[in-house]
Structure 1
Amino acid sequence: MAAPHAGEDDRQFPSRQGEPGAAPGPRSLGRRKLLRGGALGAGAAVLGAGFQGVAAAAPAPADPTPAVGPFQLFSQADLEFETLFALGGAGYGVAEVGEIVTAVNAINAQGATYQTYVDQFQALAQRVHRIADRALRAGHRASARSAYLRAASYYDCCLFFVLGTTARAQEAALYATMQNCWDRATQLFDHPFERIRIPYGKSWLPGYLLKPDARDIRRPTVIVNNGSDAQNVDAYVMGGAAALERGYNALIFEGPGQGSMLFEREIAYRPDWEQVITPVVDYLRSRADVDRDRVALIGLSMCGESVIRAAAFEHRLAAVVSDPGVVDAWLAWPASLRGLFANGATEAEVNRIWQQDVIPTLAPGDRFTLSKRAELFDSRFMLAARAGEMFTDLWGLGQAVMRLDCGPVAHQVTSPTLVTQFEGEAFYPGQGRQLYDLLRCRKALHDFSTAESGTEYHDAPMSPQTHYQVVFDWLDSYLGAR
């Protein structure tokens, strides 16, 4: 842990701190790399210059960077990264290593593309889904729960890449099938997860309250706030299961731009995340089974920025985890794309260059990556992607993403805050340290690394148990271990 500043958390909290902006680890993975690292080329850094898309079309050429550790699943980096999350989920029972490896071998044998990936994982998901249905009919609840969780995870693998395939128009249906498997699994735990609706303006947010047992007592509760593309089954792996293991309640929910709010209700992400979290906190504090003074908040991936924004205005949180620390989400987008907004460019200029000079040059891999990353910010972008078209309002996208910047308000956070960052972070490199320095509350910074049992790369996809052991050991200091 860093040397404390005045008012910092002086608890003993082991941490290795790397230098801000340090070179990434042996492999920068996934769509994070495609978005951040010049995947669109350098030619658009100045207004008026077009740029040539160079992200991998399908099938992709081999990635020149070394393999992860002793193995490599795919040469295409984004396929590799997503699959590492599925492998990591095996530790919490939402995947089976043998099933994943068999699917990976089949995909590589056919030639790894978005299409072959989705086709193969969908076939696996459907097979496991049928196993779950048969087990449930036969009264084998544990077997059914396991299979429904795994099926949800494999459908989730498909959901991320479906916009890059001929099945792009089926995105909402694929989400619904995945969610159905997750929902069925939640009702087969020894203590079923409670389906909830959180009042949200004139509407509601869907979610689940997870409790470790049926006792009617007030417990500390951890809100697990997923990121820009995680689903409920991911949030279970990334904090929900760890909370239950420690005797806490966990709240998993879908906010604007997430899950069913995006895919089915077409409600876009919003930057003022306190308007989301405050209703969630209100709801929890109204319940007899929640200790209203011990409610914590974890923000995953891009929501590492959003939970800091929320905590700057919502001061009833016992603790906050920005996982990883994010200050400015716009910096995760390619410099070449951000450059279109430079030098006082107008909306008309940006969109003209985007539509006339850029879109025609985009390679298939670029088109998929940009469509996927844009869809949560406006239903127009999502519907265009489902129709196989590239969105045309780059100006609107840029304005939406640029508002995801908690820097101006981070000093207003009063809750104790843990900031994490990851070796080889390809999406928000250096921003964890930046956020830590901006905070004026009690705080801690933890660096995850290769040496710490494979917890490198954005969100530590391979090691959720090690990752959340660190997070929850810190939370125990404020919520009180039971």
Structure 2
Amino acid sequence: MIARRRFLAHTAVAGSAAALGYASGRRGLDEEVASARFHGDDALGQGQAAGVWHRYKFIGQPVMDAQVVFWLGLSSMGLTDVGEVLDTATRIRPGDERSWFEQWLATAKRVRAYGEEAEARGHTRSAASHFLRAGAYYRAGLMRYADRADPRLVEATIAGLDLHGRALRMRGYDSRQVDIRYESGVLYGRVYYAPGAARAPAIVLQQGLHAWPEDTMWVIDGALQRGYHVLSFHGPGQGASLRLHGHPFRPDWEVPVGRVLDFAERDERLDTGNIVLMGLSFGGYLAPRAASRERRLRALVANPGVLSWRDAMMRHFAAIPGLLELHRRGPAAFDRAIDAASLALPDARWYFDDVTWKHGVSAPHQVIDELGKYDNSDGVADIRCETLIMEGCAEDASPGESERLYAALTCPKHMMVFDASTASQVHCQGGNQLLAQARLFDWLDERVTR
């Protein structure tokens, strides 16, 4: 959901230009950014601007602007409000990771203060609304911040979760935070129970590389309204399980999912004969990987579907002239090229700081090695549960992978496509998730017994 294709495409030219001594690429990018309302679709944005809503310039930096679209889209769930998101965007310096973090924190603290004042005056409904938004703004700041030495990173994590839980309690949700046993520690999770339902089917919900389940209320509220319980979790490498407990991603995703399902089996209200595993973004690879080894699932939802995260990422890196060849020559040359790219494109430094942290490695060249482990081509035929793939025609993180996954599946399967006419065509239907909510649960209601 962070427009990986646009980030890596910009790195391909701007970053490689810096590594090879060509500064003109960056000047062209700066001139184009200043002159158009929309981001272009070529590597430097110098081509004809694409006049589509999801490429509008709010900050003037392509990856940041894709993230702004994501947060604007959550306004329909009450997680954000349009004016607060746009006001924050006007204060962010393009490409500046610290500016992104600090301006979202400023908004979060201001909205949190609204909630504290409303609560002190006895206005519980108003306070809940403010706390829900404030929690989301703390998480927005964390989406693009990987400075592990900054103590505010942990503080924002705790605030983003606590305010979310506080708002849920004030609104009367039947929900509780849970610790799910994992390795020698825990994974962070939360269970939500549908109103009036005792034992009911459950959605086991996970996100991917950047967003959190708390940002996915379009799934959670949609499930609760239709009589499904929800068990959401932060897997290793994600959200609080990374930031508070130090667990990095792992390729054998069936292990953490197995621990989550073990936890579900101990909750008498969760009908473990009707478990739906749903993964979004990078989770659209991770969830099918788990389902290929895990037999306790009634259905699987991948949004979008990904057969090989390795292949999707390598296609991005292959677009950077000479980069993979540098990796083949040795780690030192590759890491020097990334350092040079970072001088011209701050996104490169943020991206590699972020993914090295989340994958538990220490240098950029190790990211390439680690991503090589994320391929499910040999296991996908072992998925037995009915599978739904949700795909937008403007998918840019893993284009073409939904089709590859669909073709490889041998279980009952369905491809749900969102074209441009739906205004839900981007990664994970960001910006217009109400249609996705309706179509997802219409599909589930026709297949899962309640």
Gap change, CA 1:327 and 1:167, over 3 Å in 2:
same
Name the CA distance, whole Å, in 2 between partners of 1:338 and 1:312.
35
1:431 aligns with 2:416: no
Whether the 8 Å contact between 1:58 and 1:114 is mirrored in structure 2 is: no
User: Secondary structure of the equivalent of 1:479?
Assistant: coil
Q: What aligned pairs does 1:362-381 form with structure 2 within 5 A after superposition? A: 362=342, 363=344, 364-378=346-360, 381=362
Equivalent in the alignment of 1:318: 298
1:40 aligns with 2:35: no
Name the CA distance, whole Å, in 2 between partners of 1:127 and 1:152.
11
Gap change, CA 1:59 and 1:95, over 3 Å in 2:
farther
> Where in structure 1 are there 5+ consecutive unaligned residues?
1-28, 382-392
Alignment identity in percent? 25
* Aligned-residue offset at 1:256: 0.4
Whether the 8 Å contact between 2:352 and 2:364 is mirrored in structure 1 is: no
1:131 aligns with 2:114: yes
Name the CA distance, whole Å, in 1 between partners of 2:132 and 2:213.
11
* Aligned-residue offset at 1:119: 3.5
1:451 aligns with 2:421: yes
Q: What aligned pairs does 1:144-223 form with structure 2 within 5 A after superposition? A: 144-163=127-146, 170-213=152-195, 215=197, 217-223=198-204
Name the CA distance, whole Å, in 1 between partners of 2:186 and 2:424.
35
Please provide the CA RMSD for this pair.
3.1
Equivalent in the alignment of 1:394: 364
Is 254-263 or 178-187 further displaced after alignment?
A: 178-187
Pairs aligned (count)? 429
Name the CA distance, whole Å, in 1 between partners of 2:348 and 2:359.
18
Q: What aligned pairs does 1:250-265 form with structure 2 within 5 A after superposition? A: 250-265=230-245
Whether the 8 Å contact between 2:186 and 2:245 is mirrored in structure 1 is: no
Equivalent in the alignment of 2:43: none
Name the CA distance, whole Å, in 1 between partners of 2:229 and 2:109.
31
Equivalent in the alignment of 1:274: 254
Whether the 8 Å contact between 1:295 and 1:319 is mirrored in structure 2 is: yes
Gap change, CA 1:75 and 1:85, over 3 Å in 2:
same
Name the CA distance, whole Å, in 2 between partners of 1:446 and 1:51.
45
Whether the 8 Å contact between 2:73 and 2:431 is mirrored in structure 1 is: yes
Gap change, CA 1:263 and 1:319, over 3 Å in 2:
same
Name the CA distance, whole Å, in 1 between partners of 2:249 and 2:151.
21
Q: Which structure has the higher relative contact order (CA within 8 Å, separation 6+)?
A: 1
The one of 226, 229, 232 aligned to 1:249: 229
1:442 aligns with 2:412: yes
Q: What aligned pairs does 1:10-49 form with structure 2 within 5 A after superposition? A: 30-37=2-9, 39-41=11-13
Name the CA distance, whole Å, in 1 between partners of 2:374 and 2:306.
9
Equivalent in the alignment of 1:11: none
Name the CA distance, whole Å, in 2 between partners of 1:314 and 1:411.
13
Is 403-412 or 173-182 further displaced after alignment?
A: 173-182
Gap change, CA 1:85 and 1:167, over 3 Å in 2:
farther
Whether the 8 Å contact between 1:36 and 1:426 is mirrored in structure 2 is: no
Name the CA distance, whole Å, in 1 between partners of 2:352 and 2:150.
14
Whether the 8 Å contact between 1:36 and 1:427 is mirrored in structure 2 is: no
* Aligned-residue offset at 1:298: 0.5
Letter in 1 for 2:153: E
Equivalent in the alignment of 1:4: none
User: Secondary structure of the equivalent of 1:40?
Assistant: helix
Equivalent in the alignment of 1:69: 53
Whether the 8 Å contact between 2:7 and 2:62 is mirrored in structure 1 is: no
TM-score, normalising length: structure 2:
0.86
User: Secondary structure of the equivalent of 1:405?
Assistant: coil
* Aligned-residue offset at 1:351: 0.9
Query: What per-residue deviation string (whole Å, max 9, x for no partner) do you get for residues 109-154 of structure 1?
Result: x778545443333222111111112223333222222111101111
Gap change, CA 1:320 and 1:134, over 3 Å in 2:
same
The one of 405, 419, 423 aligned to 2:389: 419
Q: Which structure has more helix as a fraction of its residues? A: 2
TM-score, normalising length: structure 1:
0.81
Name the CA distance, whole Å, in 2 between partners of 1:55 and 1:366.
13
> Where in structure 2 are there 5+ consecutive unaligned residues?
41-48
Gap change, CA 1:325 and 1:112, over 3 Å in 2:
closer
